[in-house]
Amino acid sequence: MSYSQEELEALLQNDDFIRWVQLPEGEEHAYWQSWVQQQPDRQAMVELVRSIYAAEQAHPGSHDLANEVWQAVQSQMDTPVRRFSWRRYAAAAAVLALLAAGGLWYAFSGGAAVQRGLILSKKGAAQITARNNGTAPKTVYLTDGTRITLSKNSSLEYSNLLEGEKREVYLSGEAFFEVAGDAQRPFLVYSGDIVTKVLGTSFRVKEDDKITVAVKTGKVAVSRQKESGAEELILLPNEQVVFNRQANTLNKTAVADASLLQSPVTSATLSFDEAPVTQVLDSLAAMYTVNIQYNRAQLAKCMVTVSLEQESLQDKLEILCKVLGATYETQEHVIYVRAQGCN
């Protein structure tokens, strides 16, 4: 991070900058756009400040989370910056708003999101890596409605699933999967030397000295990755396969450890009561780690009351667009929302 203490603090007290962050189509848009392009890390900083101020309208500043915010921001910076008034700048408000949508908020690092031990980073427009560095299970939400709960010291690589004929994820460690049904796009989990193929089910994959796949609901097919025409074992509820690395064997049995079939989390619901639609869109973008583009100035006055259950991102967007009288489309892994705005 290339900012000194004085530069960062002065920027956050610059009324012209704050007005532009809130209304990027204003008279000084060209000036600040040019300013952003002068330093590679400025865009990430602008996005964080933008999320902070979008959340301020619905959630007044909180002292409880301010220290966590500050410590996380400092951890992303090369030069420590002394603490200043996060109440004034509503940093904790951004955390509260984004925690309501899956617990994510963007740090200064440029594309990294933090959720108390869960770190998500993007590789290009669609590729994402999630790592659970905490001690408790952490949940990753995929755009198709799939929910994956990572155990500690586990990681997952995946795409945002907005496009493509199949859904593929790469697991290192242990995770519980609740896969959304989609007969047209099979779901594939690659873990160590095996691949697990499903259409819609819940199951656990655990990789240590051996690899275990245990099915709670639905049906999955398990096979070796690197062998053409390899043996494929079909698992039904309460069945498991254990892959022995040394013996290179796949053994199918009944699930012996009931804890393998326990879902670590309850269903998440996003509820907004007379909230700015910009806050809802920013929360969805953070929850699913996707790029949602819209005219912030045009939607600045739009308020919505909506409850979004555990559907896919597309379902949530359709509900929101119906409430708002808007439309959306996906182009090259970017979601564009178009609306008339509100008076």
**What does the radius of gyration of the chain's CA atoms come to, in whole angstroms?**
22
Measured between alpha carbons, how far is 200 from 9 in angstroms, rounded to an integer?
Answer: 49
Instruction: Encode pLDDT of 230-275 as tens digits.
Output: 678 999 999 999 999 888 888 999 998 888 988 776 555 677 888 8
Tokens 């951004």: give the residue: 94
Instruction: Encode pLDDT of 321-332 as tens digits.
Output: 988 889 999 987
317 half-sphere exposure, CB direction, 13 A CA radius: 26
Read off the pLDDT band of 101 (50, 70, 90): very low
Q: Which residues contact 88 (CB under 8 A, 6 or more apart)?
A: 61
115 half-sphere exposure, CB direction, 13 A CA radius: 27
Q: What token pair was written down for 197?
A: 């193929």
Nearest Cα to Cα of residue 216 among 238, 187, 189, 196: 238
Instruction: Encode pLDDT of 197-219 as tens digits.
Output: 997 789 999 998 899 999 999 99
Report percent pLDDT > 90 for the chain: 22
Amino acid at 157: E
- For the segment 171-192, the average pLDDT, to the nearest whole number, is 91
Of 147 and 19, more confident: 147
Predicted confidence at residue 96, as pLDDT, reads 37
Tokens 């998440």: give the residue: 268
Domains along the chain with CATH numbers: 5-102 (no CATH), 117-261 (2.60.120.1440), 270-338 (3.55.50.30)
